[in-house]
A = this chain, B = another copy of it.
Amino acid sequence: MTQSTTGRRAGGRAARQQARQRPSVERVPFITRSMKPFEVLSDDGLATIEENADTILEQAGIDFRDAPDALELFRGAGADVDGERVRFPRGLARSLVQGTAPEQFTQVARNRANDVVIGGEHTVFAPAYGSPFVHDLDGGRRYGTIEDFRNFVKLAYASPYLHHSGGTVCEPVDLPVNKRHLDMVYAHLRFSDKPFMGSVTHPQRARDTLELARIAFGADFLESNTAVFSLINANSPLVWDATMLGAATAYAEANQAVMMTPFILAGAMSPATVTATCTQTLAESLAGMAYVQLVRPGAPVVLGSFASSISMQSGAPTFGTPEPALVLYTMASLARRLRVPFRSGGALTAAKVADAQAAYESANTMQPTLLGGVNFVLHAAGWLEGGLSMGYEKFVLDTDQLGIWHAFAKGVDLSENGQALDAFLSNEPGQHFLGHPHTLASFETAFYRSGVADNASFEQWQAEGAQDAAQRANAIWKRTLAEYEPPPIDDAVDAELREWIERKKASFPDSNV
């Protein structure tokens, strides 16, 4: 049992928090949305963007740098290759993608009950990715370590509302750059049994990820199933570079999934308008996805979009502003028209701590994420400081919001019980429903129960320490880690993973490059 953090009122508050820890929405491996996505543009508007993306691909072109194999593939497919610049006859990139890329695919998890479907009406939540720093209320902001990394894998595993273990949940800066991916992949395989993401910082590290996946899932199984899903970023504007393409190639050759994602700070890496940012994102991602289909036709590939605005005064990235929300809705529509899965969104913020700015900005991206119909949501929990920091308290607050989306996505219950007509006709006007049999029967499941919100009276809240949401979240992540138990793993598989990693680490010197 947990202890009350205030040391008194052990029954009241601790019991309430305990009750709130139980998931209040049925645990599912991923969300299936019941509503039509929100649209911000007409079909004509979307067609204009598609036309313009074709114009960019045809006239401006895309650079594929230090990637002679890619140039060769594009030349063979009918593109105009001039040095490292690839220009696509109108419609070519689209037809390469639509010819063979799947509309949706399943990413297999170590625990098959956690398999996720990427695409269609489905939405999958994964933790934030890539921050060099971590933040919590006790230690403040500091460089991430492998212990932090494992903590966030454990927290994601423990959350009923995260479907995916993610990838670089934080950078384990205490480990050498050229070997840390081995400990990261191991942590996902050992401390979670949800699906995970592979290393992309070097093609060899992608191949190492695949070797570990072959041990965990079986080499034969991996030939015909997708168990690794990885983030490939463009070097916007209009450039794909060798490191990312090399990782994408390794994964695609092995039939593993990649999300081809322009990462755009609009006004810097793209013109400072919503339409232009969407046009460029579509052009860049189309070129990247076409490349993947040339490497291995039919390999699962996802249209990715990450767009933020910048402060036109300071150049700093800004989040939760209206323009990136419009980009997100528009890109989601374009992905549907293209019939490929879509990655975007997340609980994005420039805030340094888990305050009102953090929550407002995160909500302003997560609402379009769900209502626009994103299929894979990286950065769904923990993100702070424009991605520079992974926040423990932010993680708890964000996952609570993900629970809300589980309940919302189910939509309105029109069943007989939902309509409750008998309740109305058996209850006098003026008589409350608290004690009505219909209410009593719905007691447990009627409404979403937050794990972190305080709904008590001001006086009770004050008596319990007047804690803000971040302070309450602090107690929750600590309790979650204290209560964490790892999922089972076959001892022989675990031993083989460890031995392979040890052999690999011993085979070349540490380096921070």
Which A residues fall within an 8 A CB radius of B? Answer: 16, 19, 35-36, 38-41, 45, 48, 52, 55-56, 59-63, 85, 133, 141, 235, 237-239, 266-276, 279-280, 309-318, 320-323, 325-326, 330, 350-364, 367, 371, 385-386, 388-389, 394, 397, 401, 404-405, 407-408, 411-414, 417-421, 423-425, 427, 429-434, 436, 438-439, 442-444, 446-450, 452-458, 461-462, 466, 468-470, 473
* Least distance between A429 CB and chain B CB atoms (Å): 3
Q: In the complex, what residues of B have CB within 8 A of residue A457's CB?
A: 316
Chain B residue with the shortest CB-CB distance to A461: B352
Give chain B residues whose Cβ lies under 8 Å from the Cβ of A466. Answer: 352
Given the known inter-chain contacts A371-B371, A458-B141, please indicate yes or no for A63 contacting B360, CB distance below 8 A. Answer: no
**Which residue from B315, B389, B447, B456 sits with its C-beta under 8 Å from A323?**
B447
Q: Is A321 within 8 A of B85, CB to CB?
A: no
Q: Which B residues touch A394, using CB under 8 A? A: 356
CB atoms of A417 and B273 under 8 A apart: yes
Report which of B267, B310, B323, B385 forms a contact with A458, defined as CB distance below 8 A.
Answer: B385
A239 to B276, CA, bound (A): 54
CA distance in complex: A313, B445 (Å): 11
Taking the closest CB of chain B, its distance from the CB of A92, in whole angstroms, is 17
Residues of chain B within 8 A (CB-CB) of A455 are: 311, 314, 316-318, 350, 386
Number of copies: 2
CB distance from A277 to the nearest CB of B (A): 9
Known: A318-B455, A352-B458, A363-B364. A412 touches B269 (CB 8 A): no
Chain B residue with the shortest CB-CB distance to A457: B316
User: Contact at A38–B40, with CB atoms within 8 Å?
Assistant: no
Contact A420 to B271, CB < 8 A, known contacts A19-B313, A45-B412, A355-B469: yes
